[in-house]
Structure 1
Amino acid sequence: MGIDVTFIGLFIANTIACAVYSILAPYLPTEANARGINSFIVGLMLAGYPLTAFISSLLLGKYLGKFGKRRVLVFGCSCEMFSTLGYSLLPFLPIEYFLILGFTLRLFQGLGAGCIGTSTYSLIVANYPNEIQKYLGILNISSALGFMAGPVGASMLFAIGGFSLIYITFGLLNLLLIPMVYCLIDKDIYSLMGEHDITSLDLIKNSIIRDYFFVLIISSISMCFISPTYSLHLQSFNISDNLFGLIFALPTVSFIASIYFVINNSWGHKRLFLSGIIILIIANLTIGPWEYLYLPHSIYISLIGIFILGIGICFIYLSALPEAISKSHYEFSNYPKDYISDLVSGLANSFSFMAEMVAPPCSGYLRDHFGFENAQALLAGATFVCLLYLINSPRLVDSLKTKIESTEMAEITETLKS
């Protein structure tokens, strides 16, 4: 069995993209505050990333086949390179140019992320149609490596040469990535396709497919909801700030640890993502923990909550996305599979960025007015309502019933043969 150079290229590209994403939030606010820029402006600057990533993912879903998957991936890496190198100039600029360039670079970085994410998903579906779940799981390991390696590498570079050295180094990594991706990704995996009269909106209008995207949104919101508030909550346990990074890595660790089980499970996709939603409810109630559970206010209970959060997200993501792709191919079988896969990839990527735009401000607002524990409990309650909807969905029930009846029919057939 030969080495799969295509997936190696995707793995490396995704790792570096996630590493670049993870190095901005720890250092840009400090650099901005040193110039008297308040946190609200910094927050707006950071919000430019998911905004352009959301828009570009939606558009690319329709036009990815026309532009070419490899070309879009290379273009995304180029955007990441220019934006990352551009950040190295910020310490040398006056405040007005600091703001203008900072906003502009963040928008370009989001554009690059949208291109990389959408083309990567689509390439996996196109190249590994029968092993989507497996390769998505392995790809998420690359995301985890990037999210962990980025801050560690940035810390060392900051200690050596300060803010600018971080972004020069990671920008040069992206520069090296561009020719490597171009050489590793086969040219013939994309083709120019004609215009089709179906759009991403048509997929969402389909009630069967919409349920699967609904599940993916639940997963993304649960992950993004804790990002602006959990570090503040950890201070109530009187633990060292140096441990915050390790604690925030726990969902990533549990996600990776769950991949093998998800890929090799015999539960079926629907049972798997329903189980994932139940796990998310438990995680959001214990991450506080919520006072009405009458559990002690203990860091250990909170750590259990954030650990199982990653398990729930893994269960949902690696089951709902392949199911959404499969159902989309079936429901729109009169269109090219590659084109439908591009639309699904764009939608899945855009929904994750939409959650990144919506969840953090909602989380911050609820924490300020109701407290962290109650905010997480409200999210758990909303997730429970979603679970009831999915359980009682005729489409979902029929799918589960059909699977059970098919199994029973197979058993009856075997009995008759005997």
Structure 2
Amino acid sequence: MMEGSEIEPGAANSLPTLTDIAQIPDATTSREEDTNRNAYPTTSRSVHGAVAGGDRSKRRGTAKRKPRPRTGSDNDVRRLRPFIASPFMPITTKSKNEVVEQPRKLKEPRSRSPTKYGALAHKRSDADQRRAELLPLQAAPEPSPDSLAVTPADPVQPRKRSDSESSHSSDASESSSSSDSSDSSYTRFSDLTRKQWATMGMLAIANLCSTVAFSCIAPFYPGEATDKGMNSTEIGIVFGVFELVMFVTAPLLGKYMTTIGSKRMFTVGLFMTGVTAILFGFLNLLPAGSLFFWASLVIRCLEALGDACFVTSSFAISAKCFPGRIATVVGLIETFAGLGYTAGPVIGAVLYEYGGFQMPFLVLGFLLILATVVSIFLVEDIEDEEAEDTKGMLGMLKMPVIWLMVFAVVICAISLSFFDPTLAAHLESFNLSTTMVGLMFLLCGGIYTLTAPLWGLIIDQWNCCYLLMFFGSSATVVSMLFVGPSPIFHMEKNLVVIGLSLSLFGVAAGALYIPTFQNCLNAVKKRGYEDNFQTYGCVSGVFQAAFAFGAFMGPTLGGFGVQQIGFAWTTSIIAVINVFFLVIMLIFFAIRWYKGDIEEESGSESCDSASERSQKA
């Protein structure tokens, strides 16, 4: 390109080269000029440009370029600093006025707040912070100058953890895990030991055998007693005295459970029930008259005492061995108990038909004795600690929530036991066979047996005791009004409607009965009762006494009501009693809401712990 000629088209759009940006001599620079350039190793780029600019313009001398202004300021030096280091250009030194850029601090990632149960995340973070503050702080050793000198060629190795630090971190993890386990009393089925599984199995089998031995006499004993000269009143006394003895003895057994021992009370009660069942089978050898009546009454009372012993202790053992699954285990026990009540008459009738009067009692009695021997080895040995300062059962009965739960258990037991002497007569107008009548009984007892463990799981999972009780009582009202049906509806008796009402009542009875024991335990713990067997025994005693009282009142007053005013009006009165319970429960919640205590009687168990258990499950 000659002097004065124009720049070629497209050259303006071409990108400048590294040589043009740095404005250093090209490859044709003489050795002398290179020597002059190397004589200033620490000069800035502006000075170097001023020195070499004149020679460059003389050497090229072809294109008249507009000289680029150079002020020699530090900003210009930083602006002309190349992106890639070049060996052909000097490296500028840092000026005094140049601002040193600090490394940008990365923002700490925000902890994800859960989409649900926000209070739980805050609770966990506080717990972790407290555990971190409790851990001893170890001062890190000051780094030596040799350790700070790192050559560029050698990669920086991470610092190895010392043995003390590793042991310290392991201790911290162990302490955090132990604190987590201690904070929550939730018991998962996957964590149960073989001993706990055996204990749960023995509780279920014992309740099954005892209820079968209690209910198996229904199909054949009234006929045998009539042949021995007993009247209907005496037969009713023999049936009703069982629940009456349980009503009297259950609170006393619960109060002195720690003195007797829970496992000892369980095994002795189971053995007594088995022995009295065998003795009851030999009553047919006695002569007719008052001797048969009094012998039946005494043996029945002893059987009720044994049943009260092991049933009361079984509830206390369940509460101690499975603290996070109380409602589930109680539901399992009630499942087998309901199965015994349902299958007992059938088993008794079959054994009586093939072996006579003694066969049902001998078979069931020896099964109970065998269960006693097995329970000695399988039931978990539990230390029955006795509290030094306890408020006792009288202090427990001063709590309004306990009386509310007692009322719920009583009306549930009245509703369940009312059908035993009255339902068969109510179905006579349909001309059903004995098998069909038994199936109608099975609709109530069988569905109760199937749904009882489901209610226990729901309570342990979501802690909704009062909501289930409200549903159970409301469903009981509906079933009692339509099983008659109530005269207020002006409906004719319908077998399908009666069957649906009995099925609904089986569901409702479990929803009303299962949450009561859990509510009683939560209430007494919140009022300062210690978590020991004496508390469990008192609660279990009150619980069993309330059910026994309702089971005694149901057939007695129910039979009297049917005789006086009829089946339909009697079921309507039972429905009104359940409505009265609903009103009392609503008033109870209204008073607590007014006082600002609307949370459930959950003791140490709150909604946060319930959500945590649902996440763990």
TM-score (norm 1): 0.91
1:75 maps to 268
Distance 1:390 1:214 in 2: 10
CA 1:261/1:101 → structure 2, altered by over 3 Å: closer, same or farther? closer
Matching of residues 176-325 of structure 1 within 5 Å? 176-187=370-381, 189-191=382-384, 193=386, 198-259=391-452, 261-262=454-455, 263-264=457-458, 266=462, 268-325=464-521
1:10 maps to 203
Which whole-Å deviations, capped at 9, do the CAs of 1:369-412 have from their partners, x for residues lacking one? 11100010011112111211111224565688446xx98xxxxx
CA 1:382/1:83 → structure 2, altered by over 3 Å: closer, same or farther? same
Q: Quote the sequence identity (%).
A: 23
**Deviation at residue 268 of structure 1 after TM alignment:** 1.4
Distance 1:143 1:61 in 2: 20
For 1:21, the aligned partner's letter is F
Contact 1:237 1:298 in 2 (8 A): no
Contact 1:391 1:397 in 2 (8 A): no
1:90 aligns with one of 283, 308, 311: 283
Deviates more, 1:66-75 or 1:258-267: 258-267
1:115 maps to 309
2:169 maps to none
2:258 aligns with one of 65, 72, 88: 65
CA 1:260/1:180 → structure 2, altered by over 3 Å: closer, same or farther? closer
1:28 maps to 221
1:357 maps to 552
1:385 aligns with one of 537, 557, 580: 580
2:355 maps to 161
**Deviation at residue 336 of structure 1 after TM alignment:** 4.3
1:338 aligns with one of 526, 530, 533: 533
CA 1:197/1:104 → structure 2, altered by over 3 Å: closer, same or farther? same
Distance 1:244 1:351 in 2: 29
Instruction: Tell me the SS of whatever aligns to 2:218.
Output: coil
CA 1:260/1:20 → structure 2, altered by over 3 Å: closer, same or farther? closer
Distance 1:396 1:163 in 2: 56
For 1:288, the aligned partner's letter is G
Aligned length: 404
For 2:478, the aligned partner's letter is I
Deviates more, 1:115-124 or 1:229-238: 229-238
**Deviation at residue 194 of structure 1 after TM alignment:** 5.7
Judging by fraction of residues, say which structure has more helix: 1
**Deviation at residue 320 of structure 1 after TM alignment:** 2.2
Which whole-Å deviations, capped at 9, do the CAs of 1:266-321 have from their partners, x for residues lacking one? 47111110111101111111111112223331011111111111111111122222
Contact 1:13 1:181 in 2 (8 A): no
Contact 2:283 2:295 in 1 (8 A): yes
Contact 2:218 2:345 in 1 (8 A): no
Instruction: Tell me the SS of whatever aligns to 2:406.
Output: helix
Computing the radius of gyration from Cα coordinates, the structure with the larger value is: 2
For 2:576, the aligned partner's letter is G
Larger relative CO (CA 8 A, sep 6+): 1 or 2? 1
TM-score (norm 2): 0.62
CA 1:395/1:85 → structure 2, altered by over 3 Å: closer, same or farther? farther
Deviates more, 1:271-280 or 1:222-231: 222-231
CA 1:193/1:267 → structure 2, altered by over 3 Å: closer, same or farther? closer
- Aligned-residue CA RMSD (Å): 2.2
Give the unaligned 5+ runs of structure 2: 1-189, 601-605, 608-617
1:415 maps to none
Distance 1:329 1:354 in 2: 25
For 1:384, the aligned partner's letter is V
Distance 2:243 2:572 in 1: 26
2:299 maps to 105
**Deviation at residue 197 of structure 1 after TM alignment:** 5.3
Deviates more, 1:45-54 or 1:389-398: 389-398
2:563 maps to 368
Which whole-Å deviations, capped at 9, do the CAs of 1:206-237 have from their partners, x for residues lacking one? 11332222222221121122222111111122
1:151 maps to 345
For 1:257, the aligned partner's letter is L
